[in-house]
Structure 1
């Protein structure tokens, strides 16, 4: 079981005072079919586009889950029992409501991690405030392998404005990116250690089709590395101060953002199909367009970008063009 599922299970059991139920079948609002209890065997060498992800939190499913027998819809046991409303310390003014994205091409941005998602999210419609399921259920304190002390979650960084004024802007210890006052982060202020949500939520290990071994997230100082480290995907140098993934057996290193599963679309699930006007076949959402592929409507390059692709021919569309061409919302 992954760390996120364990964390939200603990939170829900603490709130409700009972174990997560294991029912033979469940029904979920906004999904037309029943879900049945089943075991999942994940193949570490499977196609990343078809990775088995939970439709609510967009985290990998690696054990018992609820699955729809008629479509690509699965849920963690815990996520199937998420509350419909949530009080969140980052938005104390109003209660957040659990919302489902119904359109295949629709995505929303999370206020905490700044990534887009097409999963479920908690929303305050009055304030236009949204958190994806993963960020909404994070505890206020976490233990992270990158630092010896527990890290506290900061909401909107209001307490750190004085720090910026006298000591300059804050930067994430994981990637070096600036942490803005409007974003969430984790910190150990006595040690001047800060991590944005994107880095704090990186998995400890991840599989990639370019390496038969699991890649391990590494933190400085790097005592077993050469002086210069290069990413196997983008072939650019990896900064010696920042986190990266490494396979010691194959002596390969990777920027976290270069691994497709951990890039800009890390909180999105792909594989849903839709029909569009002017094309005879269904098109399916994919994490990355192929080399030299372009949108059949606007002609923009889709290489490395999320897209919709036809399995029968080379036709592809970008996410922005799909709404104008959708065939009355017909799903496949």
Structure 2
């Protein structure tokens, strides 16, 4: 007899998982275990009152508490002791978002045993926590989020893009242009640049941020200063950059990153539109106020675009340079390849279907939208928290309460990506976190990416039959309904969360599409 069998008195046990005494079944048998759900060959205990209750000796001997450490297949680790639970707590508040195993990313079944952390939302299969998968069966298990061995060499992938970007001042276009030799001009501070796309000369700021003895502030939403590039519609947080010579006099708000002023005039053989070259458009002539929907990230934009007028195909200038492969902190060690899936898998970031371009790990079947990978930085700052908030890919440790967004005050699913400050225990939707000054706290969370992240609001138009100029803004709840809308449904008439033109002198406000109709007439 081995030690385990010899020390079990009278071959009977009283196990806390079952109300009746369990009795050893003689001989080595092959059977399914009600604890882990797997088939085993070996010693089993069963209930003579409930014949279907049968557990393997290994599961019967599982410790009530354990610490999952580095020894578990390399890198699955949790700092708190885990408690053995004899069913999945599917009625508990913290499990209502259907969490998955933190080691294998597999689903839970409520009748099977698990290990869970009582201090945070950490759940793991008993087999995953103890590394007791059957050796032969392990070849059928797909690679998982918790156990990843690096599958590429850095020297074989020069200029590989590592996501997420550090902060809101970093972006794909900046990295791409910095890797292109000879694309950045050699102008010096204060020198003028004339672009065919803009009616005024541009001044390069390289060493200082003042013009005509007046200070020009960089983008700093914490101080309510917004400086967005008219090309990529991303914040300008460092020098050098170009500014319209009329900016200080508030006659023109046109500004450009240095790299946006040196973009190539066209792109050949674009991966999603290889039939025709894509031409650079500072403003798409057929689109009112330059607003278009990007074919790759599916976000609206009024910045520079690459497009084909023949096919009415347009992408924003960031999406024009998406690489074929990246890595991401949410799925470390594996290359993610650019794909347009034939099916509609779920994005790991936002849990929405990937219908357009995204990134995919073929080894692990890991999918993520291109916009989630490239537009959510590692850190953001917000006036509601004095510390930077970091991007989280799973529930934070020591956080057993419900997760509420500090901005919109709605509860959210912590298994979707979110921003979190550990010091202050504050969390935010990624879509609510960006400090876009025109519409704070007015984001409709259709996805994890702020829908108007590629929009630069501002600018005015004049329409017939209204005496005042209208300003281009994002609608908020107090704007009410469109003053010109004849939509069939009441919901469509609302201006909240929409692109609108609003009179700042009276209560007149209309949808962007209504303004385009009135303006053209």
Q: TM-score per shorter chain, which class?
A: 0.7 to 0.9
> For residues 188 and 20 of structure 1, do their structure 2 counterparts lie closer, same or farther at Cα, with a shift above 3 Å needed?
farther
Moved more, 235-244 or 102-111: 102-111
Of structures 1 and 2, the one scoring higher in RCO (CA 8 A, sep 6+) is 1
By how many angstroms is 1:212 displaced? 4.3
User: What are the superposed Cα offsets for residues 43-74 of structure 1, whole Å, 9 maximum, x if unpaired?
Assistant: 23244xx7211111111111121011321111
By how many angstroms is 1:257 displaced? 2.3
Q: 1:255 aligned to 429, 452, 457, which one?
A: 429
By how many angstroms is 1:307 displaced? 1.7
Q: Does 1:177 align with 2:352?
A: yes
Q: 1:84 aligned to 262, 265, 278, which one?
A: 265
> For residues 69 and 215 of structure 1, do their structure 2 counterparts lie closer, same or farther at Cα, with a shift above 3 Å needed?
farther
Q: What residue in structure 1 maps to residue 218 of structure 2?
A: 41
- Is contact 2:233–2:455 with CA below 8 Å preserved after alignment? yes
Query: In structure 2, the residue corresponding to 1:12 is in which secondary structure?
Result: coil
TM-score (norm 1): 0.84
> For residues 104 and 224 of structure 1, do their structure 2 counterparts lie closer, same or farther at Cα, with a shift above 3 Å needed?
farther
Q: 2:360 aligned to 187, 190, 208, which one?
A: 187
- Distance in 2, matches of 1:170 and 1:220, equals 19
Q: Which has the larger radius of gyration?
A: 2
- Distance in 2, matches of 1:272 and 1:104, equals 12
Q: 1:205 aligned to 363, 376, 379, which one?
A: 379
By how many angstroms is 1:155 displaced? 4.0
Q: Does 1:68 align with 2:244?
A: yes
- Is contact 1:275–1:327 with CA below 8 Å preserved after alignment? no
Q: 1:281 aligned to 442, 447, 468, which one?
A: 468
By how many angstroms is 1:138 displaced? 2.2
- Is contact 2:360–2:367 with CA below 8 Å preserved after alignment? yes
- Is contact 2:183–2:263 with CA below 8 Å preserved after alignment? no
User: What are the superposed Cα offsets for residues 175-200 of structure 1, whole Å, 9 maximum, x if unpaired?
Assistant: 111112xx100122212221102211
- Distance in 1, matches of 2:379 and 2:520, equals 41
- Distance in 2, matches of 1:37 and 1:113, equals 31
Q: What residue in structure 2 maps to residue 111 of structure 1?
A: 295
- Distance in 2, matches of 1:5 and 1:95, equals 19
By how many angstroms is 1:97 displaced? 0.9
Query: Which runs of no fewer than 5 residues in structure 2 stay unpaired?
Result: 1-168, 210-216, 247-251, 437-448, 487-492
> For residues 81 and 250 of structure 1, do their structure 2 counterparts lie closer, same or farther at Cα, with a shift above 3 Å needed?
same
Query: In structure 1, the residue corresponding to 2:336 is in which secondary structure?
Result: strand
Q: Does 1:29 align with 2:180?
A: no
- Distance in 2, matches of 1:105 and 1:126, equals 20
- Is contact 1:172–1:178 with CA below 8 Å preserved after alignment? yes
- Is contact 1:275–1:283 with CA below 8 Å preserved after alignment? yes
- Is contact 2:325–2:338 with CA below 8 Å preserved after alignment? no
Q: Does 1:264 align with 2:468?
A: no
By how many angstroms is 1:248 displaced? 3.0
- Distance in 2, matches of 1:287 and 1:22, equals 37
User: What are the superposed Cα offsets for residues 82-128 of structure 1, whole Å, 9 maximum, x if unpaired?
Assistant: 01101223333321111232566342111111111111111123333
Query: In structure 1, the residue corresponding to 2:389 is in which secondary structure?
Result: strand
By how many angstroms is 1:219 displaced? 1.4
- Is contact 1:288–1:303 with CA below 8 Å preserved after alignment? yes
By how many angstroms is 1:5 displaced? 4.4
TM-score (norm 2): 0.55
- Is contact 1:52–1:60 with CA below 8 Å preserved after alignment? yes
Considering fraction of residues, name the structure with more strand. 1
User: What are the superposed Cα offsets for residues 191-212 of structure 1, whole Å, 9 maximum, x if unpaired?
Assistant: 2221102211212222344444
- Distance in 1, matches of 2:498 and 2:387, equals 26
Q: 1:8 aligned to 153, 158, 176, which one?
A: 176
> Structure 1 stretches (4+) deviating beyond 6 angstroms?
none
- Distance in 2, matches of 1:259 and 1:305, equals 18
> For residues 289 and 221 of structure 1, do their structure 2 counterparts lie closer, same or farther at Cα, with a shift above 3 Å needed?
closer
User: When the two structures are aligned, how many residues end up with a matched partner?
Assistant: 312
